[in-house]
C-alpha cells in the first residue's frame, strides 16, 4: 500500500479503534494508554503511513494553512491565562500534523476590515478555528455560503451557532464538580464568586454549582466581580465579614480565586483550615500560590485535538463534495484537588464524591481514562 493511499481511517479499521484514538496516538497524546499508542504506531509504520503528509493531503487548496481567530480581548490577562494555554495546544496539534498557522483577530484593528473575509477571499487558509465567543453573523454567513470548513472552539454554543461545529467544555458539569467537592468535605454554607456580564460560560458554571448545592440543601451566598484578580480582591475587601462566614468558596476562574485567597489570608483566615477554596481553569497560577489551589480542569489538549480532527474531517468531506452535518461536542471537565480544599471533612452530609483523593489528583473521570465527551451530529 502506497503512503499517499493510507489514511487514519485505514489504521483505525485495522486496529479496531476509532478515528479519534488513532489521531491521538499519532499525536503522542497522553489521553491514550501507552500500550495502545505503541500498537497504533506499529501498525502505521508497518503499512507505511506518514502522519504529516496525510494531514496535509486533507487540505483542499495549495495553502496548507489553517487560520485561528482569537478573541478581541486575548491580550487581557484574565482572558489570556486560559486562552493562551488553549492556543498553545492548538499550535502543537497543527504543527504535528505538518500544517501551517495564521493567527489573527476577526477584525483588523487598523482598517476595521473583516480578516476572515480577506483570509478566505485571498485563498490564504483552507479552514478556520474560531476561538471567539460571539462570531460576527456576517462572518458565519460568509463562511457557510463559501462552504469554508470551520470549527468554533471553547465557547458554549449560542443560538446563532446552530449551523456550526462547536467543541466546548461542559461548564454546568464543572460547576457541579466544585459544589459536590465542597459538600463532600462537609461545607454547608457556600460562597460563590460570580462574574459580571452576560458571558454564557460563566452563567453555566454558576448554574451547575447552584443546582448541586440546592440538591444538597446547602446555602449559597453570591458575590460578584469581573473576572480579574484585582476586581475579586477589591470585592473581597468590601465583603470580608460575609466571606469569612462561608465554609467553602467557589470562584469562577483561578485569578478570582487567588484574589479571594490573598484577601482572606491578609485578614487572618486560614485556607483550608478555616475555609475551603476552589477555582476554575486549572491554570499555571494554581501551582504558584500557597496553599496550592484546587481547580476545575478544562481538558485543553483534548479540546484542541478534537477541533483539529473535526476541521480536517470537514476539509476532507468538502474536497470530495460530500455534505457535512454540523456537530456539537461537549467535553467533561475534571477537578484537580490541591491543598486549598484537602483538610479533613467537616461534619455534614456525605456525597458519592471521592473523599480520599490526595493533593494534586483529579476527580470526575474514572481513573486511567481521559475525560468523557458527548457528541451530536455525524462522525467522526
In DSSP notation, 49-114 reads --HHHHHHHT-SSS--EEEEEEPTTTTSHHHHHHHHHHHHHHHHHHHHTT-EEEEEESB-TTT--B
Residue 346 lies in a domain: yes
The CATH number of whichever domain residue 327 belongs to comes to 3.40.50.2300
Looking at the fold, whether 212 and 148 belong to one and the same domain comes out as: no
Q: In tens digits, what is the pLDDT along the chain, a chain of 380 residues?
A: 333 446 677 788 888 888 778 877 776 666 778 888 888 888 877 776 655 444 544 443 457 899 999 988 787 877 888 888 899 999 999 988 889 999 999 998 888 899 999 999 888 999 999 999 888 889 999 999 999 999 999 998 887 787 889 999 999 999 999 999 999 999 999 999 999 988 999 999 999 999 999 999 999 999 999 999 999 999 999 999 999 999 999 999 999 999 999 999 999 999 999 999 999 999 999 999 999 999 999 999 899 999 999 999 999 888 888 888 888 999 999 999 999 998 754 444 333 333 334 445 555 543 333 444 555 555 55
Residue 378 lies in a domain: no
Given this model, what pLDDT does residue 361 score?
54
Looking at the fold, whether 134 and 195 belong to one and the same domain comes out as: no
Given this model, what pLDDT does residue 349 score?
38
Looking at the fold, whether 245 and 362 belong to one and the same domain comes out as: yes
Looking at the fold, whether 180 and 248 belong to one and the same domain comes out as: yes
d(CA 285, CA 287): 5
Counting the structural domains of the chain, the total is: 3
Residue 78 lies in a domain: yes
Residue 219 lies in a domain: yes
d(CA 358, CA 354): 10
Looking at the fold, whether 200 and 241 belong to one and the same domain comes out as: yes
Looking at the fold, whether 204 and 138 belong to one and the same domain comes out as: no
d(CA 57, CA 77): 37
Residue 309 lies in a domain: yes
Looking at the fold, whether 86 and 8 belong to one and the same domain comes out as: no
Residue 87 lies in a domain: yes
* Residue span of the structural domain in which 99 resides: 61-169+300-331
Given this model, what pLDDT does residue 217 score?
97
Q: Count, in order, helices (H) and strands (E) of the chain.
A: 14, 14
Looking at the fold, whether 162 and 175 belong to one and the same domain comes out as: no
Looking at the fold, whether 178 and 211 belong to one and the same domain comes out as: yes
Residue 121 lies in a domain: yes
Cell digits for 119? 483570509
Given this model, what pLDDT does residue 4 score?
43
What is the 8-class DSSP label of residue 155? S
Looking at the fold, whether 129 and 190 belong to one and the same domain comes out as: no
Looking at the fold, whether 287 and 314 belong to one and the same domain comes out as: no
Given this model, what pLDDT does residue 356 score?
37
pTM of the model: 0.76
Looking at the fold, whether 193 and 283 belong to one and the same domain comes out as: yes
Residue 19 lies in a domain: yes
Amino acid at each position: 500500500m502506497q503512503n499517499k493511499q493510507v489514511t487514519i481511517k485505514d489504521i483505525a479499521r485495522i486496529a479496531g479503534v476509532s478515528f479519534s484514538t488513532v489521531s491521538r496516538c499519532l499525536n503522542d497524546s497522553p489521553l491514550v494508554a501507552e500500550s495502545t499508542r505503541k500498537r497504533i504506531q506499529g501498525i502505521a509504520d508497518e503499512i507505511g503511513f506518514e502522519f504529516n503528509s496525510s494531514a496535509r493531503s486533507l487540505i483542499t487548496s495549495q495553502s496548507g494553512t489553517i487560520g485561528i481567530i482569537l478573541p478581541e480581548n486575548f491580550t487581557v490577562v484574565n482572558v489570556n491565562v486560559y486562552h493562551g494555554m488553549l492556543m498553545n495546544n492548538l499550535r502543537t496539534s497543527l504543527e504535528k500534523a505538518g500544517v501551517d498557522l495564521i493567527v489573527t483577530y476577526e477584525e483588523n484593528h487598523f482598517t476595521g476590515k473583516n480578516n476572515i473575509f480577506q483570509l478566505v477571499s485571498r485563498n490564504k487558509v483552507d479552514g478556520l478555528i474560531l476561538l471567539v465567543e460571539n462570531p460576527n453573523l456576517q462572518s458565519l454567513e460568509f463562511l457557510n455560503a463559501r462552504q469554508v470548513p470551520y470549527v468554533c472552539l471553547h465557547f458554549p454554543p449560542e443560538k446563532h451557532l446552530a449551523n456550526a461545529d462547536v467543541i466546548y467544555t461542559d461548564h454546568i458539569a464543572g460547576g457541579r464538580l466544585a459544589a459536590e467537592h465542597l459538600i463532600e468535605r462537609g461545607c454547608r454554607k457556600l460562597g460563590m464568586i460570580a462574574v459580571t456580564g452576560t458571558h454564557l460560560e460563566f452563567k453555566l458554571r454558576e448554574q451547575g454549582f447552584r443546582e448541586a448545592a440546592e440538591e444538597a440543601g446547602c446555602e449559597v451566598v453570591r458575590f460578584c466581580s469581573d473576572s480579574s484578580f484585582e476586581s475579586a480582591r477589591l470585592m473581597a475587601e468590601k465583603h470580608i465579614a460575609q466571606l469569612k462566614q462561608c465554609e467553602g468558596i467557589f470562584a469562577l476562574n483561578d485569578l478570582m480565586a487567588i484574589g479571594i485567597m490573598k484577601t482572606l489570608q491578609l485578614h487572618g483566615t486560614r485556607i483550608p483550615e478555616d475555609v475551603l477554596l476552589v477555582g476554575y481553569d486549572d491554570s499555571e497560577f494554581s501551582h504558584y500560590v500557597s496553599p496550592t489551589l484546587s481547580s476545575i480542569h478544562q481538558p485543553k489538549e483534548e479540546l484542541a485535538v478534537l477541533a483539529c480532527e473535526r476541521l480536517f474531517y470537514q476539509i476532507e468531506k468538502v474536497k470530495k463534495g460530500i455534505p457535512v452535518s454540523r456537530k456539537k461536542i461537549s467535553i467533561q471537565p475534571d477537578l484537580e484537588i490541591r491543598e486549598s480544599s484537602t483538610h479533613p471533612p467537616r461534619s455534614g452530609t456525605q456525597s458519592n464524591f471521592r473523599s480520599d483523593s490526595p493533593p494534586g489528583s483529579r476527580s470526575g473521570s474514572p481513573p486511567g481514562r481521559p475525560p468523557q465527551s458527548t457528541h451530536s451530529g455525524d462522525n467522526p
